[in-house]
Amino acid sequence: MTSVPLTHNQSLPADWRDLFALTKPRVMSLVVFTGLCGLLAAPVPVHPVLGFAAVLCIALGAGAAGALNQWYEADLDAKMKRTASRPLPAGRMTRQTALHFGVGLAVFSVILMDLAANHLAAAILAVSILFYVLIYTVWLKRRTAQNIVIGGAAGAFPPLIGWVAATGDISALPVLLFAIIFLWTPPHFWALSLFVRTDYANAGVPMMPVVAGVTSTRRQILLYTLPMIVAAIAPWAMGLTGWVYGAASIALNTIFLVLAFSVFANKQTEPKQMGPEKRLFAFSILYLFGLFAALVVDRWVIA
Amino acid sequence: MSPQPEDELGPGPGELPRPEDELIRKRQRERARVLALLLGAFVVLMFGITIAKMTINQ
């Protein structure tokens, strides 16, 4: 479809499929999965309907944050190939529609979480939406190369919310789950930003490869991988999980470390020659799915 | 009171609707259907949450 920058036929209502696309469904799948795993890893039984409602609220909250992110970043999205076909930059929707949809969805998800689970889970959900929209999107993303490091906290909330929805309190394991995703975000996102850095540079987004260069970003990917590995192995080392999680964690972290080292060793600067970066990015998604799946298997199957 | 612009009046008696009008109606119908489904699902979910909370409290 031809891109029409930020113009829209005011008389034409937005297609519901575009409203759905505004919620970033692909990103939402990982958020829902980690939230569900946080809920299932909790040491208390959860009523299936309430558990479903809690995970639905996490999904709706993530969708609201995604919609508000696209509302605010419509100008940036229009400048990047990867995002130019989204509903707002492609001119298929007004910004006001996206804003109303995002705010409505956010309020609805928090109220429903409060009704279905508890006040603490609803409060953390509200904080995670506000953190993603205000701290990451509005404040950090256009100002500092550390945007992903601090903003990564927003994506780390779902397992914590899932756990709190089930138990009503916070303990060591959900904090470690938060830390794993928080420390996983920089290597994951910087691997992507290395091979799409031209897009970010054209849009004026100060991502790490644009500001600090390719070599420095590769070194930082490796450096952030080390504390991530410590956080990922800690639940088993501290006796909070069983051997299934321990074995899966050691295997997945070993592969992650090898791939991060191959990124560090790569000297190519052309995106087409960034095979190690693309492999690390693809594996990092599998890594998170595998680690959290192992946590649930450990809790439900082995226990 | 000033008269409405001609293109806001819509098709007159016996006139065919413009293709754009048809697209607007189609979008409105689709959104109404999706909204109806979501509202129905919401009612079922609220019913389920209420029953679940009552079960837990007993």
- The ipTM of this complex is 0.79
pLDDT the model gives residue A13:
83
Confidence of residue B15 (pLDDT cuts 50, 70, 90): low
pLDDT the model gives residue B16:
65
CA dihedral A83, A89, A93, A99 (to 10 degrees): 80
pTM of the model as a whole: 0.87
pLDDT the model gives residue A163:
97
Q: What is each CA distance from B30 to A110, A210, A247, B24, B27, in whole angstroms? A: 27, 43, 49, 10, 5
A12 shares contact with chain B (CB less than 8 Å): yes
pLDDT the model gives residue B12:
63
DSSP string, A206-248: --HHHHT-HHHHHHHHHHHHHHHHHHHHHHHHTTSS-HHHHHH
- Across the interface, whether the CB atoms of B24 and A56 are under 8 A apart is answered no
Quick one: closest CA in A to B47, which residue? A49
Which ranges of chain A have pLDDT less than 70? 1-11, 303
- Across the interface, whether the CB atoms of B27 and A47 are under 8 A apart is answered no
Quick one: closest CA in A to B24, which residue? A12
CB-CB neighbors (< 8 A) of A56 in chain B: 45
**In B1-58, alpha helices (H):** 19-57
For the four alpha carbons of A272, A274, A279 and A280, in that order, the dihedral sign comes to negative
pLDDT the model gives residue A7:
52
